[in-house]
Structure 1
Amino acid sequence: MARAQGARAQMALAFETTYGTPPASGFTRMPFASATLGAEQPLLNSELLGYGRDPLAPIKDALTADGNVVVPIDAEAFGFWLKAAFGQPITTGTAAPYSHEFRSGSWVLPSMSIETGMPEVPRFAMYSGCMIDTLSWQMQRSGLLTATASLVAQGEAIATTSAAGTLAEIDLQRFGHFNGAITRNGQPLGNIVSAEITYANTLDRIETIRSDGRIDGADPGMAALTGRIEVRFADQLLVNQAINGEPCDMTFAYVLTSGESLTLVAHAVYLPRPRIEISGPQGVQASFDWQAAKDPVTGRMCTVTLVNERETY
């Protein structure tokens, strides 16, 4: 009897036309490092008395389907997650390379159907009505570059065969940490040890009364772009900005030598005044838990641009 192994697992993704209804075709094989996406339904203990000390049978509570998917930040597949987080991109270019511009604050976010499969069991779980609550990643000097997508789904359907059909394949071109750079107001920002970026849609689950215990949907709330930068303390540039309460634009970018690139521009970043601690003989570092706001000039909080060989998402 075959046992489930993560090395054999696979994931397929397709955008839905109708929320909660998996499409019959159009699924793409997605690279991923790990996934906690799943459905759970807790049991409620019986509160009834008069039947002795042994409890009566429990009853089922509402169904919850959610979880995280860790994915590589690459030149093509990452665009699917950006579309889910920001909405339909504005694509320009009549021939490759194409530029896909994702903008924050969209009122309409697409839903996805995601199937995770373990063929050796066999077990194929189709999660419908998936929407991205948060998308986050870290920038650092070394290591594998991945992002974490936190998902809210409507439900789970288990089968012994795949419902995704023939999967479209993508060419995987990963960005690395050494491809990354951070700029402030157009100038390289030095002495950065690490950085964190988190975009949140603040999804509000529509928990209506249904016979199947599922949610009716998830509405986006106030968007948020937050993060942290760890800085090797060398000058007063960022501290002065924090004290003065002035915004700046920050750009987090990755560029491959072949021309593909990923750029996130936070148009109005505000920094808190940090505590500068001298904890020992080593270098002094400062942490800034920054947050972005809507820029009155661009009319939005952030813009993400993905340049690659793919024509549409």
Structure 2
Amino acid sequence: MARAKGVNSQLALAYEKAYGLTPAAPQGYNMPFNQSKLVINQNLINSATIRDCRDQIQPAIGNTDVFGSIVVPIDQVGIGFWLQAMLGTPTTTGSWAPYTHVFKGPKRQLSMVLEQQYPDIPAYEMFNGCKVNNFAFYYGGDNELTANIYIAGAKRTVGARPFASSLSPLPFLKFSNFQGAVEEGGAQLAIVIEASLNVYFGLDGNTYTIDGNGCRTDLPEGILQVSGSIKAFFADTILLHKAVNNTKSSLTFKFTSGTHSLQFFMEEVIFQQTSPGIESDKGIYINLPFKAFYESGSVGSAIVATLVNGHASYAAV
């Protein structure tokens, strides 16, 4: 009897032209991933109807909640498809490789078909109407460089065949922690040992309608919230005073591998006041949470992602 194995499983991605609907001729991509834990939850509602016996009647079926997390490597090509789902189709320049793709926050996010594929059985678990609600990563230390992507969606269908007849493979070239850097105010910080970024998209998941078969009918976007933190050796009081005085600065998180790179630029940032404290007789660190925002910056967005790689286009189909 066949049993599903993670090593043989795949995660397929395609963009939807209309929310919650699988395209007629989808362009599917075989996405690299470490974990994919998309699930569906549907409540069974107990009935309070009284009959002439103590046995409860069949429960009613509640609304469905599609949600879950995906852990992906921060790589040089595949990450662009997630950036497009979050920040819209990029502006791409370059007549030959390397190409430069610039992603900014759109008014409306793209929705996706995501399919967890179990070919050993075979079974194909397709989730429609998926949007990214949260994107987060941490770097520094001696760990694999990955991002956590939190998904909200509309519905789930289980079938015996994949939604796309074939999946386009993607080159797999990873960035790593030691290729990372942090710039503050345009200058590289040599004292940072850890950094984190969290982008929250504020999706409204309460969009169930009477004729929606218990599924979300859309996922309207809310306010884009960008935050994170940097942990650094306490070598001077420059950053500390910027936090004390609410001095506006900028931050860039960047990864570079030869001519390829990925950067997250936050033009307007303020640091939260904290105290380094003295935890031991050894080196002292300072942890500085921050929030990014858009007020008057020239880039016109709280966060801009720039990906330089050999992939010619991320235009959604």
TM-score, normalisation: structure 1: 0.96
Q: CA deviation at 1:16?
A: 1.1
Mapping of residues 1-313 of structure 1, within 5 Å? 1-23=1-23, 24-49=25-50, 51-104=52-105, 106-205=106-205, 206-257=207-258, 259-298=259-298, 299-313=300-314
Contact persistence 1:232–1:285 (CA under 8 A) = yes
Could you give the per-residue CA deviations for residues 111-162 of structure 1, whole angstroms, max 9, x where no partner exists?
1111111011221011111111111111113211111111111111110111
Aligned counterparts of 2:224 and 2:204: Cα–Cα separation in 1: 12
Could you give the per-residue CA deviations for residues 43-97 of structure 1, whole angstroms, max 9, x where no partner exists?
1122234554443322211011111111111111100000001111111111111
Aligned counterparts of 1:239 and 1:25: Cα–Cα separation in 2: 51
Contact persistence 1:85–1:109 (CA under 8 A) = yes
Q: Structure 2: where are the runs of 5+ without partners?
A: none
Q: Percent sequence identity over matched residues?
A: 30
Q: Structure 1: where are the runs of 5+ without partners?
A: none
Q: What letter corresponds to residue 132 of structure 2 in structure 1?
A: I
Q: What letter corresponds to residue 75 of structure 2 in structure 1?
A: D
Contact persistence 2:92–2:101 (CA under 8 A) = yes
Could you give the per-residue CA deviations for residues 247-279 of structure 1, whole angstroms, max 9, x where no partner exists?
11111000002x110011111111011033212
Could you give the per-residue CA deviations for residues 193-216 of structure 1, whole angstroms, max 9, x where no partner exists?
211101111111222223511011
SS in 1 for 2:220: strand
Aligned counterparts of 2:296 and 2:52: Cα–Cα separation in 1: 66
Q: What letter corresponds to residue 250 of structure 1 in structure 2?
A: L
**Inter-CA distance 234–61: structure 2 relative to 1 (3 Å threshold):** same
Q: What letter corresponds to residue 165 of structure 2 in structure 1?
A: G
Q: CA deviation at 1:3?
A: 1.1
Aligned counterparts of 2:76 and 2:212: Cα–Cα separation in 1: 42
SS in 1 for 2:274: coil
**Inter-CA distance 170–53: structure 2 relative to 1 (3 Å threshold):** same
**Inter-CA distance 54–277: structure 2 relative to 1 (3 Å threshold):** farther
Aligned counterparts of 2:101 and 2:52: Cα–Cα separation in 1: 65
Aligned counterparts of 1:52 and 1:209: Cα–Cα separation in 2: 32
Aligned counterparts of 1:63 and 1:16: Cα–Cα separation in 2: 20
RMSD value, Cα: 1.4
